[in-house]
Structure 1
Amino acid sequence: MPPAPGDREARRKDVSEAVWRVLADKGFGGLTLRAVAAAMGVSTGMLMHYFPTKRALITHALDLLEKNTAQRPRRAHPAPGLATVRAMLLDILPLTPDDTARNRIWVSSWDLSLADDDLSAAQAARYARLRSTIRPHLEAARDRGELADGAEPERLATAAVAFTHGLVVQALFDPARFPEDVQTTLLDGFLTSLTRPT
């Protein structure tokens, strides 16, 4: 007998929490139906009522990761222009334990995404959305005269995302060399390179 809708929703919440625990502990490389079932203390067969294949589990995990990322605490946007761009980019960096865990999970998902056309397209769309959220603030910076002459907000949004995610990867692999203050200093240096000379 299938569970009642309310029971099913409660169980799905339990499953999502177990998926998150496995991701935080082992990344996508360790995300299996068996690992999630063990984290819940249930059988793999029970879990397969929710995720009949590993592909379904991975898709759910990526959705869960995106939702968790969207709902994380964020810095206030202090003023139009580069000040807001700085706040947005700081929110991406692994500056706290929670941000570090979230970034480790994202990076661990890349291998799966590169090997699957649909997941790869979804990841490309995520990056496009990120660039599109940064671009209006770079446009505001241009209009305020903060950017160097000839600055193109679209190109700068791409450069900002590429710089920030490159810094994320280095900080994850070598946290002793890239603590919070070093990451912040490097980001500020990057943003300064975009500005109009005074």
Structure 2
Amino acid sequence: MGRVRTGRLARGFLALAGVVLMASGCAAGEASGPTPPSAAPSSEALTVPAPAGASEPGAATPPSEATMVCGEEIRGRIAQILALPSVPAPSSSWAGGLYTCSYRLPGGLLVLSVKESEDPAAARAYATAAEGRLPGAVPIEGLAALGLPAYGSPAGAVVFAKDSFTLTVDATGLGGTVGPQGISRSSFAYQIATDVLACWSG
């Protein structure tokens, strides 16, 4: 049963990755508001190095890569996918190198977090530890991983490591299916994660 669920999860991510890789990315650090409903999910090649001037882990001010998870681009994408009447207003916190952005949505709680590590190796290790933090998490492989260390759980959480940052999108607090299209929580989490990664590469 576990292998069947894992295979389905991987195929779902792979199908989404095909759409993501053909779409255009958002510009990092720019507030352009909600994405028009007719626009495709955003992404670009995810091998661009982190910009110079990133903060030290645990600094008083979070780096721009972290705050993007609460930015207008991502809030607009969440509103678009869920067909919300207005763009959500999340709450955030920054402590110990971890930036957390919490969205209290009509369907439940969505949490996006970014862990800033000392270096890419530490970020990869933090992502790998997701297998212990997230019940049922397995590696995301092939095209769906976008060339990055990545993990996903059937319950609705995904983790990606890029440069010195580890992104977690946790949709396990939402209902069984998400939005008017009735997509799974894991598919929704993956879509939001790839939008954030596209902004990091913009």
- TM-score normalised by length of structure 2: 0.27
* Structure showing the higher helix proportion among its residues: 1
Per chain length, whose mean CA-contact separation is higher, i.e. which structure has more relative contact order (CA < 8 Å, sep 6+)? 2
Say which one has the larger Rg: 1
- TM-score normalised by length of structure 1: 0.27
